[in-house]
Amino acid sequence: MKKLATLISAAVLSASFSTTASAQDTMAMVVSTLNNPFFVTMKEGAEAKAKELGYNLIVLDSQNDPSKELSNVEDLTVRGVKAILINPTDSDAVSNAIRMANRSNIPVLTLDRGASRGEVVSHIASDNVAGGEMAGKYIMEKVGEKARVIQLEGIAGTSAARERGKGFMQAVDTYKMDLLSSQPADFDRTKGLNVMENLLAANPDVQAVFAQNDEMALGALRAVQASGKDILIVGFDGTDDGLAAVKRGMLGATIAQQPDLIGALGVETAVKVLKGESVEKSIPVPLKVVTE
């Protein structure tokens, strides 16, 4: 009986040790939505880097729902992951999820989109303000100052939409463009199509469109093609579909991010944090204008 008790005790201790060891090697990534090629590429970059560095990476999809995002983070705190990389659904709403992780002493890093509150160790993203300005400058170079333009905005409340819009509006002011309309299409291709159809009907003399991501740009492209008009369209992100459309001469340009690098840098930075190394509060990832 004593021998049996010893064996059971040893088995329990072994299981406990295995769970602890596993938890020590595990970090997590919470993505706003995996129904967007940009974030799928970001996930793949993170997974490849985690595998290279010998870490397990749990990936959870928030489906663009802040309440789902909160439950995802709650699940991860229960699992005892050692770090959380989060791509917020909304810069304000994500604060509750971040604070939950803070209370569990789990370091949080934000990817692509920032958070307005909560303790974040590091934010890895492109300079979205600069990217919006780059789009506006490109339109000016192709169409000229005082160009008649439309902007398709992303999801209201996200830092990416706010910052890209800010940069583009700076270009609008600098180059004296005529902004005919600026409406949200939620970073979604179908909504980009529908919103653009309505805007074309109301603004038949538009010369150029800036869409705050490639998905909306591709939706706008379908609306423009159906109208038979010759309108310059500039997207943002540099997704595979966006780049292909640029190469075929269908989109004028895309402001290309490097989502795989954002994901990889997120994992690299989290590993440094777990090793007790100091990291930058903000880590910029380069952008470029792709026109061919």
Structural domain boundaries in the chain:
2-125+260-283, 128-256
Give, in degrees to the nearest 5, the angle at Cα 262 between 259 and 267.
Answer: 130
pLDDT at residue 8 above 90?
A: no
Which one is the CATH code of 128-256: 3.30.470.20, 3.40.50.2300, 3.60.150.10, 3.40.50.300?
3.40.50.2300
Mean pLDDT of 229-236: 97
According to the model, what pLDDT value does residue 199 have? 98
Q: How many whole angstroms separate alpha carbon 121 and alpha carbon 159?
A: 17
What is the layout of strands, in order, in the sheet containing 288-290? 178-184, 148-153, 208-211, 232-237, 253-256, 288-290
According to the model, what pLDDT value does residue 4 have? 44
Topology agreement, domain 2-125+260-283 and domain 128-256: yes
Mean pLDDT of 164-178: 97
According to the model, what pLDDT value does residue 286 have? 87
Do 200 and 223 touch, CB atoms closer than 8 A? yes
CB atoms within 10 A of CB 96: 16
According to the model, what pLDDT value does residue 145 have? 87
Question: Between these two residues, 23 and 20, which has the higher pLDDT value?
Answer: 23
According to the model, what pLDDT value does residue 205 have? 96
pLDDT at residue 180 above 80?
A: yes
Tens-digit pLDDT profile for residues 121-152: 999 999 999 999 999 999 999 999 899 999 99
Q: How many whole angstroms separate alpha carbon 268 and alpha carbon 53?
A: 8
According to the model, what pLDDT value does residue 157 have? 85
The pLDDT-based confidence of 11 (bands split at 50, 70, 90) is: very low
Query: What element of type H or E holds 235?
Result: strand 232-237
pLDDT at residue 201 above 70?
A: yes
According to the model, what pLDDT value does residue 15 have? 40
Task: Please check whether the domain covering 2-125+260-283 is classified as CATH 3.20.20.70.
Answer: no
Q: pTM to 2 decimals?
A: 0.75
Tokens of 268: 């690299």
Tens-digit pLDDT profile for residues 23-48: 458 999 999 999 999 999 999 999 99
Report which of 35, 37, 27 is spatially closest to residue 59, judged by C-alpha positions. 27
pLDDT at residue 51 above 80?
A: yes
Do 60 and 29 touch, CB atoms closer than 8 A? yes
